[in-house]
Chains A and B, each alone.
Chain A
Amino acid sequence: MKKFSTEKGIVLPLNRANVDTDFIIPKQFLKSIKRTGFGPNLFDEHRYLDKGEPDADNSVRPLNKEFVMNQPRYAGASVLLARENFGCGSSREHAPWALDDYGFRAILAPSFADIFFNNCFKNGLLPIVLDKAVIDDLFVEVEATEGYQLEIDLDAQVVRKPTGEEIPFEVDQFRKHCLLNGLDDIGLTLEDSAAITAFETTWRTKSPWYFTLSN
Chain B
Amino acid sequence: MSSKTLYDKIWDAHLVTQRDDGTALIYIDRHLIHEVTSPQAFEGLRLAGRKPWRADANFATPDHNIPTTAAERRAGIDGILDPISKIQVTTLDDNCNEFGILEMNMNDIRQGIVHVVGPEQGATLPGMTIVCGDSHTSTHGALGALAHGIGTSEVEHVLATQCLMAKKAKNMLVRVDGELPHGVTAKDIVLAIIGKIGTAGGTGYTIEFGGDAIMALSIEGRMTVCNMAIEAGARAGLIAVDQSTIDYIKGRPFAPKGELWDRAVEAWLGLRSDKDALFDKVVELNAAEIEPQVTWGTSPEMVVSVNGSIPDPAQEQDLSRRESILQALKYMGLKGGSAIKEIKLDTIFIGSCTNSRIEDLRAAAKVVEGKKVAETIELAMVVPGSGLVKKQAEEEGLDKIFIDAGLEWREPGCSMCLAMNADQLGDGKHCASTSNRNFEGRQGFGGRTHLVSPAMAAAAAIHGHFVDVREL
| Inter-chain contact A196/B200, CB cutoff 8 Å | no
Q: Mark A68-107, 1 if CB is under 8 A from B, else 0.
A: 0000000000000001110011111100100000000000
The stretch among A4-12, A158-166, A202-210 that forms the contact with chain B is: A202-210
Beyond the given A196-B16, A199-B27, could you list 15 further A-B residue pairs with CB under 8 A, ordered by the A residue number?
A18-B199, A18-B324, A28-B420, A30-B36, A31-B87, A84-B320, A93-B40, A93-B152, A114-B234, A115-B151, A119-B151, A196-B27, A196-B161, A213-B123, A215-B100
B356 within 8 A of A: no
Residues in chain A near residue B415, CB distance under 8 A: none
| Inter-chain contact B36/A122, CB cutoff 8 Å | no
| Inter-chain contact A174/B19, CB cutoff 8 Å | yes
Given contacts A190-B160, A213-B254, contact A173 B150 (CB under 8 A): no
Q: Which residues of B contact A (CB under 8 A)?
A: 14, 16-17, 19, 21, 23, 25, 27, 29-30, 36-37, 39-40, 43, 48, 50, 53-54, 56-57, 59, 64-65, 82, 84-85, 87-88, 91, 100, 102, 123, 125, 127-128, 133-135, 137, 148-154, 156-157, 160-163, 165, 167, 169, 199-200, 203-204, 230, 233-235, 254-256, 260-261, 263-264, 267, 299, 320, 323-324, 327, 418-420, 437, 439-442, 445-446
| Inter-chain contact B161/A186, CB cutoff 8 Å | yes
| Inter-chain contact A113/B200, CB cutoff 8 Å | yes
Instruction: Choose from B19, B27, B137, B439 the contact partner of A89 (Cβ within 8 Å).
Output: B439
Instruction: Choose from A85, A190, A213 the contact partner of B57 (Cβ within 8 Å).
Output: A213
CB A187 to nearest CB in B, in angstroms, measures 9
| Inter-chain contact B135/A91, CB cutoff 8 Å | yes
Instruction: Choose from A17, A20, A203 the contact partner of B27 (Cβ within 8 Å).
Output: A203
Given contacts A55-B84, A186-B48, A207-B267, contact A30 B420 (CB under 8 A): yes
Q: Which residue of B lies closest to A20 (CB)?
A: B439
Q: Mark A173-208, 1 if CB is under 8 A from B, else 0.
A: 110000000000110111011011001100100011
Residues in chain B near residue A172, CB distance under 8 A: 21, 23, 167
Given contacts A114-B235, A122-B153, contact A213 B23 (CB under 8 A): no
Q: How long is the Cα–Cα vector from A213 to B124 in the complex, in angstroms?
A: 10
CB B214 to nearest CB in A, in angstroms, measures 23
| Inter-chain contact B320/A83, CB cutoff 8 Å | yes
13 contacts between A and B (CB under 8 A): A18-B199, A45-B440, A85-B199, A91-B149, A93-B133, A114-B235, A119-B151, A174-B19, A190-B160, A196-B163, A207-B267, A210-B127, A213-B123
Given contacts A31-B84, A33-B43, A190-B161, contact A122 B154 (CB under 8 A): yes
Of the candidates A33, A51, A111, A113, the one having the most CB atoms from chain B within 10 angstroms of its own CB is: A33
A2 within 8 A of B: no
Considering the complex of A and B, which 10 residue pairs feature the smallest CB-CB distances, nearest first? A122-B153, A33-B39, A119-B151, A209-B256, A91-B149, A93-B151, A93-B152, A31-B84, A85-B200, A91-B135
Given contacts A27-B418, A27-B419, contact A211 B441 (CB under 8 A): no
CB B255 to nearest CB in A, in angstroms, measures 8
Residues in chain B near residue A54, CB distance under 8 A: 84
| Inter-chain contact B157/A88, CB cutoff 8 Å | no
Residues in chain A near residue B65, CB distance under 8 A: 31
A59 within 8 A of B: no
A side interface size, CB within 8 A: 61
| Inter-chain contact B441/A115, CB cutoff 8 Å | no
Q: How long is the Cα–Cα vector from A3 to B204 in the complex, in angstroms?
A: 26
| Inter-chain contact A115/B199, CB cutoff 8 Å | no
A13 within 8 A of B: no
Q: Which residue of B lies closest to A92 (CB)?
A: B37
Q: How long is the Cα–Cα vector from A114 to B264 in the complex, in angstroms?
A: 32
Q: How long is the Cα–Cα vector from A190 to B419 in the complex, in angstroms?
A: 38
Q: How long is the Cα–Cα vector from A81 to B40 in the complex, in angstroms?
A: 29
Instruction: Choose from B50, B85, B441, B442 the contact partner of A31 (Cβ within 8 Å).
Output: B85
Residues in chain A near residue B157, CB distance under 8 A: 185-186, 189
Q: How many A-B residue pairs have CB under 8 A?
A: 198
CB A24 to nearest CB in B, in angstroms, measures 11
Given contacts A88-B233, A89-B439, contact A111 B200 (CB under 8 A): yes
Q: How long is the Cα–Cα vector from A213 to B254 in the complex, in angstroms?
A: 6
Q: Which residue of A lies closest to B86 (CB)?
A: A31
Residues in chain A near residue B133, CB distance under 8 A: 91, 93
Instruction: Choose from B64, B125, B299, B419 the contact partner of A210 (Cβ within 8 Å).
Output: B125
Residues in chain B near residue A65, CB distance under 8 A: none
| Inter-chain contact B260/A208, CB cutoff 8 Å | yes
Of the candidates A26, A54, A114, A118, the one having the most CB atoms from chain B within 10 angstroms of its own CB is: A114
Q: Which residue of A lies closest to B324 (CB)?
A: A17
Q: How long is the Cα–Cα vector from A18 to B48 in the complex, in angstroms?
A: 36
Residues in chain B near residue A84, CB distance under 8 A: 200, 320
Q: How long is the Cα–Cα vector from A145 to B371 in the complex, in angstroms?
A: 62
Residues in chain B near residue A18, CB distance under 8 A: 199-200, 299, 324
A149 within 8 A of B: no
CB A34 to nearest CB in B, in angstroms, measures 7
Residues in chain A near residue B154, CB distance under 8 A: 118-119, 122
CB B194 to nearest CB in A, in angstroms, measures 12
Residues in chain B near residue A91, CB distance under 8 A: 37, 133-135, 137, 149-151
Residues in chain A near residue B263, CB distance under 8 A: 209
| Inter-chain contact A199/B16, CB cutoff 8 Å | yes
Q: Which residue of A lies closest to B84 (CB)?
A: A31
| Inter-chain contact B420/A113, CB cutoff 8 Å | no
A22 within 8 A of B: yes
A35 within 8 A of B: yes
Given contacts A185-B153, A195-B25, A213-B102, contact A89 B135 (CB under 8 A): yes
